[in-house]
């Protein structure tokens, strides 16, 4: 067997694999002998079929199969030994008038080679690393939400601003009849609000659906109408009041603190606000990290310049999907995936150059930390090591779970690496300002 390579340019090459009869014939003969032992051909006892007949019936199929196996094994071994970093898979070149009746064969494959390039995380323009903080307004709102959640409702006969209403919306022509509960805080506009303030249990209010609620989607819930209809609904409805309740806020006392965080873990309103702030900012950190990953990814793609074997990749996309694509379809698919291909190469080089590997022990520790966090949510704060090891062993016995955990851990390593090495400018922002800057 002889394998040679011709480099067309830095990104494209052709590999030629020459296979002689002596390379494949021993395997072909062995398979045919095994066939002879088990072949069931009328007129012959099993194991006594003439070899000439076995070859005539099975020889060509066995030959093709064994040559293809040898070809694939040899090509893979060659790529590994030569340390060729290829994109996609080798593409066989078409050969006109190929003849399986000859004894020696030659096959050619097109290769798309990964480009050589350098990656720098020290971009000229620094990347903003958002640090989202919970401001006083957010903390006070969360505090009020907690007080409402743990407060109580007190029945009333006459309504004031801020009260809760329960009643039935009706419009016979539109087929509307639905019971709903909402606060005056959901009502939009002073004119609508004035109809509710001073109303009494048993009263029936006549209302316009257009601009009735601050959030138009409330119409879907309170009137039970479809999404598209709710946006354009402009009809008159009646609302018969069956209940009016005042929501009394829970006292900010030790009883409430213990309900929220366990006995004596929080002992004052100041400590409660600090806990709310810490919990909120921990959740915000996930969004900040994701945005940092997005921004660093975009910067790396933008600033790391290299060519790709586009013609090869378009051809590979065309012939390696479930269905063969046209040239135009393959070109479109390449354009959609080009950025992803570029980043895979960039990220792979960063991982290789900086030895960002994941070991099994790291995956095991990562898994145990996840398990401890989940157990803590159910009040199990100090699980025994043996219990953790047993649960982790069951989790890691599933290869799909190992793959997912490995990816998560690698993503965390890459994120930590970016935070340490990339050209970042920290910026503290409220969540509201973060949303404005990033999404608007």
Query: Is 152-248 the same fold as 2-113?
Result: no
Count of other CB atoms within 10 angstroms of residue 349: 17
φ, ψ of residue 68 in degrees (nearest 5): -65, -40
pLDDT at 354: 94
**What are the boundaries of each domain within the chain?**
2-113, 152-248, 264-306+354-439
pLDDT at 128: 95
Q: What does the block give as tokens for 364? A: 């095991």
pLDDT at 53: 86
User: In 3D, which of 299, 312, 295 has the Cα closest to residue 129?
Assistant: 295
pLDDT at 12: 97
Q: Per residue in 255-298, pLDDT tens?
A: 999 988 888 889 999 999 999 999 999 999 999 999 999 999 99
**Strands 12-19 and 236-248, sheet pairing:** unpaired
User: Which residues of the chain carry a pLDDT beneath 50?
Assistant: none
pLDDT at 46: 77
pLDDT at 227: 83
CATH number for region 152-248: 3.10.50.30
Q: Which of 3.40.50.2300, 3.40.50.410, 2.60.120.260, 3.30.70.1050 is the CATH number of 2-113?
A: 3.30.70.1050
Calpha distance 388→367 (Å, rounded):
9
């Amino acid at each position: 067997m002889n394998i040679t390579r011709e480099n067309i340019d830095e990104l494209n090459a052709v590999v030629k694999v020459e296979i002689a009869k002596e390379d494949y014939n021993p395997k072909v003969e062995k398979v045919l002998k095994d066939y002879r032992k088990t072949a069931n051909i009328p007129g012959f006892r099993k194991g006594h079929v003439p070899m000439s007949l076995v070859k005539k019936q099975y020889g060509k199929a066995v030959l093709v199969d064994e040559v293809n196996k040898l070809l694939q094994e040899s090509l893979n071994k060659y790529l590994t030994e030569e340390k060729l970093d290829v994109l996609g898979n080798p593409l066989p070149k078409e050969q006109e008038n190929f003849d399986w009746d000859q004894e020696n064969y030659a096959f050619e494959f097109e290769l798309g080679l990964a480009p050589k390039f350098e990656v720098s995380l020290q971009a000229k323009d620094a990347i903003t690393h958002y640090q989202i903080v919970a401001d006083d307004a957010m903390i006070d709102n969360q505090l009020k939400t907690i007080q409402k959640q743990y407060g109580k409702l007190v029945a009333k006969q006459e309504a004031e601003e801020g009260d809760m209403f329960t009643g039935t919306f009706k419009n016979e022509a539109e087929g509307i009849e639905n019971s709903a509960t909402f606060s005056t805080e959901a009502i939009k506009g002073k004119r609508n609000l004035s109809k509710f303030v001073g109303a009494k249990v048993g009263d029936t209010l006549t209302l316009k659906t257009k601009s009735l609620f601050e959030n138009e989607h409330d119409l879907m819930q309170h009137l039970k109408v479809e999404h598209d209809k709710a946006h354009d609904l402009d009809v008159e409805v009646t609302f018969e009041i069956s209940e009016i309740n005042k929501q009394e806020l829970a006292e900010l006392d030790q009883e409430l603190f213990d309900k929220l965080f366990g006995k004596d873990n929080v002992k004052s309103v100041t400590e409660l606000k600090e806990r709310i702030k810490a919990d909120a900012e921990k959740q915000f950190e996930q969004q900040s990290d994701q945005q940092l990953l997005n921004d660093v990814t975009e910067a790396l793609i933008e600033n790391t310049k290299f060519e790709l074997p586009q013609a090869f990749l378009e051809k590979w996309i065309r012939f390696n999907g479930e269905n063969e694509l046209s040239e135009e379809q393959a070109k479109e698919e390449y354009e959609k995936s080009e950025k992803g291909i570029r980043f895979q190469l960039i990220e792979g080089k960063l991982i290789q150059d900086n030895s960002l590997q994941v070991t099994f022990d790291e995956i095991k520790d990562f898994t145990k930390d996840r398990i401890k966090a989940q157990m803590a949510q159910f009040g199990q704060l100090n699980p025994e090591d043996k219990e953790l090891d047993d649960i982790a062993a069951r989790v890691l016995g599933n290869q799909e779970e190992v793959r997912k955990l490995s990816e998560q851990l690698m993503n965390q390593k890459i994120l930590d690496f970016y935070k340490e090495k990339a050209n970042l400018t920290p910026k503290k922002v409220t969540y509201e300002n973060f949303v404005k800057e990033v999404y608007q």
